[in-house]
Structure 1
């Protein structure tokens, strides 16, 4: 009852919404007796519903025309003093209905007062009669008179009547005709309203001589509907779906029917009902009689019990009255599956076996039972290994064709480690479980699988399969850096196993075929190109007596070694704009002898387009720029290696400066003038004269043959004593001073013993470059023209060459001093 209450409320609201709004009531005062086709009065229909498309009367004795005129259709006698009926207006498009209440009242006084007039006078104008009505499917007899038209001019003229239009001289021809003398309209046969709902004919009144005293009359013949069409369903079979366990009141679908009879009449007012249900169990559905909406009635729709219902439905017109016409149709309702049945294993214990080391092989199929629809998400099984598979050796998948679980081995099993594995497998469905009404929560189904591992003859196994060995750069060739052994998994020992390193790998170690000892076969160097980050991974093969092979990975890591290696001692240089090459010579702090020749190489390839190395001899090289490069400081990594493989890397820093001499580089020049005292200027002049005297003396000695010592072919970077010419005695680093030094270094132009060597610059535009290194100054020179040409290695210069080199500089100093004195 509680559930029926909302339905009654909704039905009441639906009835109210379909009720028509009442318009203004109209009262007509009429005689107590009215003849047929008598005008009762006129109603303003537009005031009630301007868009009325259908006009009808609730009383069949009265007709309402489109202009609102109300006529009697037959003789009416008002026995009571009052008679009431309703005019119904309908807007079919907007589905709006309006009603006008008509009251007919008799007025005896008025009737008595005009009784004579009423008896003596009668309205004779019949040229505009109300529309004619003919019942469809009339049985006759034919010809059947349906109306008479008359003209008032017939009192003065002889009038002949004629008509034309549909049903007369147009299709359907011959259905109607009009008598010439009387104006009576006759029908010759029955008419189907569904084919011809109405006819509009044109009536003419004329005299025998052809004169027309009346305007042609447009007369409507309406075919009144007869309930001659039974309703029919719009589909042969209605098919609907509804989920199982749906609650009562859930809408399943709607059946619809139509009727070809006149709309908005009882002939087309339809009612629906369920005639029968198959299977004939407890009624599961209800059907709304007016709308055809099917809803769930039973609270327990179980697809597993009944998957499909077939309903035989009847539709009847005349609002379902027994005398109405009816038709039956079929509605098929399929119950959709929901996951209200949990899957369960057919067996709770399984046992299978697999050979050790087998991979990607199916070892077992597991079946489940599920009452839900096969293939639907509610029955598709999803298997899961919930215990015994921590190492992810097994996988289980679902075979979509059979819904079975397929257990597979994805990692090789080891018989020696475990002879048996026990797995616990659980099962669910793709769709979540839905608890059905009046059912209890189920527990997840599980089963146990015992997997027996079968022993097979295996190949050798390295333990561990990845092994690291450390070696040192100091190790000699043939040094034993360790053992890498494999063992037979069946016996656990290494007897009868041979070892081998396949070709194409790091070729600086090998392994002893029988003992597995790893030894070096060359000097190890972390900086070699084939060694990545000082290590190399090597694949090692182990072969037993039966020819079975096992593999392992040996990682050899080279550790750095503290040993002497050749390196460039002087690393800081200044290069002026004349771009004289720099002579590089290697050595070490312990006077280690190296196997010649030394090989110099720039390790940064990106600097190869800017700098180049040119061999000088087997111990030293020249470093010079390629073409024009911008001024700035450059860091150039240079590696030096001897023929025994010992190698060192030094970073050479070259300050390429916009200067004439190296001493000018980095000295800030003041924007203002500098004024020197007289004594300072005299000291500068005396210093210059003293320098000139020393140079002339040295040149004289060389020219006279006093110095008979030979100059080496090395690049001459020589050292002379630095002279301080002015108290308090600061060191003067001047490019015009040629220092002398005794050294035992063998390299770029340095001679052993007490020999003093010199190198001067020939040609214009060359200057002496002082290079800092080891607390002394070195001088280098380049022959004019073509950077990187052959170097000049001699100190046999004439006095005129020395004079040409020193005289301009003394002149510059004299002029500079004279200018300062004037200022």
Structure 2
């Protein structure tokens, strides 16, 4: 017998035991066949004897590979017994020596294609071809060798992990603290990779796979047993590098020398967290706007940038006057030519885990220069004038003077006029140069106590620059009318009435 080693000895003993049971179970069938073929029942029955058969896969020798021997204990070695086999691969893959019962494999076998073959053995008398033993079934197992490398059937892989993912700590308190915590296999779990090995998992270590990182081990680790990939550092920064390409290797034989290996690529995308504040590209901006611009006119645009992505870049802007003044008001070049405002950008969605990284806001100074514009004349006072004149004033008498100035130039000539729509009767006149208002007609307070007129002022050098003001003129009363009875009265008196006497309501003298 060939030396097969400890495990095969056990299998051999087990098969011998099974052989005895098999002979006992099939004795009645054998007796029936013996009776039919004239076999004497006086002979003591004997059983089969053979090995538990194994054949190593991927045999590359030039001669047929010895598998084992089948033997009947009735065989006395004189060549009178003929051994035959039937079943899977009989006569093609497996051949038997009819005299010795030796079985050989003629083809190269692959356990990953077929793990075992079921055959049947028969011992017959060579001369009469009578069966000497019951036909019995046996198995030839294909013994595994490490000929299959691990394979990642689902690769290549793509996974993701948030930037600044912690090491050991479930909540990242600070970037510095996280950098100090880099314990092996304590990083944030990213994903799991799995390799399969077609070798026999029940035999040896041929299918026992361990994992390792070939490329990218500075930033990520892989659990050698489970294939779970974790972060190795806590300062992964998406803004610096937003993806990593790893090469993960799986080695069978539990990683021992001589084991086969396979590899796969793993792309790990670093997702964004809100760890960057808004930033203005400039600390100061300068704009210019005309003083004639209306409230709400765009002056310029400032924009802060944020290195993050998506909603982490959402921000609000605030504006305030550097001196605390009112922001939204008309501009006046003559009173203030420069305004400084502070614009602040603030992140909308601040992550409390990263507040220790600094303030999530930024500010810039905006300097706005007000440019001069040709403005219409300004009346003094601007809200209009109230004048008074006696109703008995003569035609040509001075009522009052209106004054307007050019806000852009001192002593610029101004021309005045009365809007005749408001003084159709031409009761008043105005000096076009001085703005003096005089009477054009006699006044009568009892007819009109007030007159409201509109005076226009225009720049002599630019007739398009026109402004208006209202002038209210009050007519002052003078004693120019005698008293009058409200209704006519008729009285009678007696001729003999005495001085001082009056009539009562009944007509009697009292």
TM-score band (shorter)?
0.5 to 0.7
Out of 407, 413, 426, the position equivalent to 2:344 is: 426
Matched, 1:179 2:97: yes
Matched, 1:133 2:54: yes
Alpha-carbon distance change, 65 to 291 in structure 1, aligned in 2, over 3 angstroms: farther
Which deviations, in whole Å up to 9, do the C-alpha atoms of 1:733-763 show, x marking residues without a partner? xxxxxxxxxxxxxxxxxxxxxxxxxxxxxxx
Rounded Cα–Cα distance in structure 2 between residues aligned with 1:455 and 1:544: 20
Q: Quote the residue 2:121 is aligned against.
A: 203
Alpha-carbon distance change, 195 to 424 in structure 1, aligned in 2, over 3 angstroms: same
Asked whether the equivalents of residues 423 and 450 of structure 1 are also in contact (C-alpha less than 8 Å), the reply is yes
Rounded Cα–Cα distance in structure 1 between residues aligned with 2:336 and 2:376: 18
Q: Quote the residue 1:365 is aligned against.
A: 301
Q: Shift in Å at residue 452 of structure 1?
A: 4.1
How does 1:215-614 map onto structure 2 within 5 Å? 215-248=134-167, 249=186, 250-264=188-202, 265-277=204-216, 283-355=218-290, 356-358=292-294, 362-368=298-304, 370=306, 372-373=307-308, 375-378=309-312, 380=313, 382-388=315-321, 413=330, 415=332, 422-432=340-350, 441-442=358-359, 444-454=361-371, 513-514=421-422
Alpha-carbon distance change, 547 to 62 in structure 1, aligned in 2, over 3 angstroms: same
Residue 300 of structure 2 aligns to a residue whose secondary structure is strand
Alpha-carbon distance change, 143 to 67 in structure 1, aligned in 2, over 3 angstroms: closer
Aligned length: 356
Alpha-carbon distance change, 271 to 37 in structure 1, aligned in 2, over 3 angstroms: closer
Residue 61 of structure 1 aligns to a residue whose secondary structure is helix
**Highest relative contact order (Cα 8 Å, sep 6+), 1 or 2?**
2
Bigger Cα displacement from structure 2, 337-346 vs 147-156: 147-156
Rounded Cα–Cα distance in structure 1 between residues aligned with 2:147 and 2:189: 33
Q: Shift in Å at residue 426 of structure 1?
A: 0.7
Alpha-carbon distance change, 144 to 459 in structure 1, aligned in 2, over 3 angstroms: same
Asked whether the equivalents of residues 346 and 360 of structure 2 are also in contact (C-alpha less than 8 Å), the reply is no
Rounded Cα–Cα distance in structure 2 between residues aligned with 1:150 and 1:497: 143
Asked whether the equivalents of residues 252 and 296 of structure 1 are also in contact (C-alpha less than 8 Å), the reply is yes
Rounded Cα–Cα distance in structure 2 between residues aligned with 1:362 and 1:60: 93
Matched, 1:143 2:64: yes
Rounded Cα–Cα distance in structure 2 between residues aligned with 1:489 and 1:326: 96
Q: Shift in Å at residue 443 of structure 1?
A: 7.0
Rounded Cα–Cα distance in structure 1 between residues aligned with 2:62 and 2:424: 128
Asked whether the equivalents of residues 83 and 99 of structure 2 are also in contact (C-alpha less than 8 Å), the reply is yes
Rounded Cα–Cα distance in structure 2 between residues aligned with 1:68 and 1:495: 137
Residue 246 of structure 1 aligns to a residue whose secondary structure is coil
Alpha-carbon distance change, 316 to 69 in structure 1, aligned in 2, over 3 angstroms: farther
Q: Shift in Å at residue 261 of structure 1?
A: 0.9
Q: Quote the residue 2:487 is aligned against.
A: none
Q: Shift in Å at residue 131 of structure 1?
A: 3.8
How does 1:30-179 map onto structure 2 within 5 Å? 59-63=7-11, 125-126=47-48, 129-140=50-61, 142-151=63-72, 159-168=81-90, 174-179=92-97
Alpha-carbon distance change, 59 to 362 in structure 1, aligned in 2, over 3 angstroms: farther
Rounded Cα–Cα distance in structure 2 between residues aligned with 1:366 and 1:460: 35
Q: Quote the residue 1:722 is aligned against.
A: none
Which deviations, in whole Å up to 9, do the C-alpha atoms of 1:503-535 show, x marking residues without a partner? xxxxxxxxx943699xxxxxxxxxxxxxxxxxx
How does 1:718-797 map onto structure 2 within 5 Å? none
Residue 232 of structure 1 aligns to a residue whose secondary structure is coil
Which deviations, in whole Å up to 9, do the C-alpha atoms of 1:628-654 show, x marking residues without a partner? xxxxxxxxxxxxxxxxxxxxxxxxxxx
Q: Shift in Å at residue 382 of structure 1?
A: 2.0
Alpha-carbon distance change, 138 to 357 in structure 1, aligned in 2, over 3 angstroms: same
Rounded Cα–Cα distance in structure 2 between residues aligned with 1:232 and 1:210: 53
Bigger Cα displacement from structure 2, 217-226 vs 254-263: 254-263
Q: Shift in Å at residue 186 of structure 1?
A: 1.7
Alpha-carbon distance change, 65 to 259 in structure 1, aligned in 2, over 3 angstroms: farther
Q: Shift in Å at residue 266 of structure 1?
A: 0.4
Q: Shift in Å at residue 229 of structure 1?
A: 1.6
Q: Quote the residue 2:444 is aligned against.
A: none
Mark the runs of 5 or more structure 1 residues left unpaired by the alignment. Answer: 1-34, 39-56, 72-121, 395-411, 462-487, 499-511, 518-542, 551-823
Alpha-carbon distance change, 153 to 243 in structure 1, aligned in 2, over 3 angstroms: same
Rounded Cα–Cα distance in structure 2 between residues aligned with 1:458 and 1:238: 71
Which deviations, in whole Å up to 9, do the C-alpha atoms of 1:711-731 show, x marking residues without a partner? xxxxxxxxxxxxxxxxxxxxx
Rounded Cα–Cα distance in structure 2 between residues aligned with 1:70 and 1:496: 135
Rounded Cα–Cα distance in structure 2 between residues aligned with 1:497 and 1:212: 147
Rounded Cα–Cα distance in structure 1 between residues aligned with 2:359 and 2:295: 37
Rounded Cα–Cα distance in structure 2 between residues aligned with 1:70 and 1:164: 20
Q: Shift in Å at residue 377 of structure 1?
A: 3.8
Alpha-carbon distance change, 351 to 157 in structure 1, aligned in 2, over 3 angstroms: closer
Rounded Cα–Cα distance in structure 2 between residues aligned with 1:359 and 1:64: 104
Rounded Cα–Cα distance in structure 2 between residues aligned with 1:213 and 1:233: 54
Asked whether the equivalents of residues 64 and 70 of structure 1 are also in contact (C-alpha less than 8 Å), the reply is no
Alpha-carbon distance change, 458 to 348 in structure 1, aligned in 2, over 3 angstroms: same
Q: Quote the residue 1:189 is aligned against.
A: 107
Structure showing greater Rg: 1
Q: Shift in Å at residue 332 of structure 1?
A: 3.7
Q: Quote the residue 1:503 is aligned against.
A: none
- The two structures, once aligned, show a CA RMSD in angstroms of 5.0
Rounded Cα–Cα distance in structure 2 between residues aligned with 1:130 and 1:203: 12
